[in-house]
């Protein structure tokens, strides 16, 4: 089985945002189909509209299929799962676009469950307009956790920095009440496991952020550090996690201390994502802790530039590459932990497993 047999599902996200543009631009390079078989969830009318806008994309070929099981290698496959007559209004948040985004997500999730695709990359959605179609989730992370079980861990990833979050999408006023001893310990264990099994880091070092300014100043600016975070770090350390802190987030980044660690654990969304996006604007959002692989670019729908051929596909491209890399790392990890002899042979210089070694065999249907 050749590497392009890896079927990577790709959702267009909000069709009035930059999702369709970054997907088309990512797939415009014909060499991409040598790395995996793209399975795009959307509609031909949407692709045609944006292909006309994007310079150099007019002659791109998409093969329309009924389902991912029909996907063929060395070509861009398109599963039509929304109304071909859908109204496009680039730059606007509409109920129609929200409903379309949900349909694409649900179709991709269905194919992940059946094994028709091996991982999924999701273009950004608008968290407000998707609520119009009984999508009662605050984001992709919560949706995929509901579909596949497990304890989701939102991670922002790049070669420079990896950031995990204790709390994800919630009002800042509720953050303190949701930071518990147990949650920090569990999240540190999840983060450590992901760094090992998904990224191949032998024994990761994790920095843990404080919640309050100056790490609470000994209780003067808050007691969460003394009563919750420090005890949780100690408990996680006793369980084998190399966890350190709590560090004040501002000084941690100002002194580039992140360079000494494999990952950092932030207490809430903006505490981790603001410095991450500043340092690595083309990073990747990865949902760790689930039995499936889902990645996404680290940007939003960007209505202000939608439909203008200004969107940068770098983050989307890296999200696709990372999904494949994580599949490969999980394959190696599963094999090495299953059979110690294989691990020994690898240490002696044997070949690494590739994703294809662990993907289920599928009938040949390519030209």
Residue 360, pLDDT > 50, answer no
Range of weakest confidence among 150-164, 214-228, 343-357: 343-357
Rounded CA separation 142/83 (Å): 26
At 116, list the tokens: 């028709």
**What is the mean pLDDT of the segment spanning 352-367?**
49
Cis peptide before 246 (omega within 30 of 0): yes
Q: Is 343 exposed, middle or buried (0-12, 13-18, 19+ CB in 10 A)?
A: middle
Q: What percent of the chain has a predicted confidence (pLDDT) above 70?
A: 91
Q: What pairing do the DSSP bridges indicate for beta strands 284-288 and 153-157?
A: antiparallel
Give this prediction's pTM.
Answer: 0.88
* Between 364 and 243, the higher pLDDT residue: 243
pLDDT bin (cut points 50, 70, 90) of residue 1 is very low
For residue 252, pLDDT beyond 80: yes
Query: 169-173, 241-245, 318-322: lowest mean pLDDT where?
Result: 169-173
Cα separation, 88 vs 238, in Å, equals 55
| Cα–Cα distance measured from residue 286 to residue 306, given in angstroms and rounded to the nearest whole number | 24
Two tokens at 294? 């889902």
Residues 6 or more apart in contact with residue 144 via CB below 8 angstroms: 109, 152, 287, 290, 292, 294
Interval 85-143: pLDDT, tens:
899 999 999 999 999 999 999 999 999 999 999 999 999 999 999 987 678 888 898 89
Between 63-67, 76-80, 214-218, the lowest mean confidence (pLDDT) is in 214-218
Among candidate residues 4, 78, 80, 67, the one with its CA nearest the CA of residue 37: 4
Helical H segments across the chain, by residue range:
19-27, 44-53, 95-114, 140-148, 175-178, 181-197, 224, 230-238, 249-254, 269-279, 314-338, 340-347
């Amino acid at each position: 089985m050749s590497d392009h047999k890896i079927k990577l599902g790709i959702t267009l996200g909000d069709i009035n945002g930059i999702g369709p543009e970054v997907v088309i631009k990512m797939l415009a390079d014909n060499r991409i189909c040598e790395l995996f078989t793209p399975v795009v969830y959307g509609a031909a009318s949407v692709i045609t509209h944006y292909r006309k806008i994007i310079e150099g994309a007019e002659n791109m070929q998409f093969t329309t299929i009924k389902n991912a099981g029909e996907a063929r290698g060395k070509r861009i496959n398109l599963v039509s799962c929304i109304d071909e007559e859908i109204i496009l209004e680039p730059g606007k948040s509409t109920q129609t676009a929200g409903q379309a985004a949900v349909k694409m997500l649900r179709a991709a999730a269905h194919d992940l469950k059946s094994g028709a695709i091996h991982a999924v990359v999701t273009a950004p959605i608008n968290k407000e307009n998707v609520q119009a179609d009984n999508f009662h989730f605050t984001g992709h992370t919560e949706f995929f956790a509901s579909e596949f079980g497990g304890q989701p861990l939102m991670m922002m990833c790049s070669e420079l920095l990896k950031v995990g979050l204790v709390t994800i999408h919630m009002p800042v006023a509720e953050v303190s009440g949701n930071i518990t001893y147990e949650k920090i310990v569990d999240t540190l264990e999840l983060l450590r496991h992901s760094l090992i099994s998904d990224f191949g880091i032998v024994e990761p070092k994790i920095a843990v952020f404080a919640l309050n300014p100056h790490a609470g100043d000994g209780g003067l600016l808050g007691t969460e550090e003394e009563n919750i975070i420090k005890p949780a770090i100690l408990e996680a350390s006793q369980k084998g996690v190399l966890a350190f802190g709590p560090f004040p987030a501002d000084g941690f980044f100002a002194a580039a201390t992140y360079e000494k660690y494999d990952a950092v654990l932030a207490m809430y969304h903006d505490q981790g994502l603001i410095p991450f996006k500043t340092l690595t604007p083309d990073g990747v959002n990865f949902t760790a802790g689930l039995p499936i692989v889902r990645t996404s670019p680290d940007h939003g729908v960007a209505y202000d530039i939608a439909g203008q051929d200004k969107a940068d596909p770098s983050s989307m491209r890296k999200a696709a590459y990372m999904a494949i890399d994580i599949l490969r790392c999980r394959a190696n990890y599963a094999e090495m932990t299953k059979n110690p002899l294989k691990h020994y042979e690898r240490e002696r210089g044997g070949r690494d497993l590739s994703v294809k070694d662990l993907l289920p065999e599928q009938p040949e249907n390519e030209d």
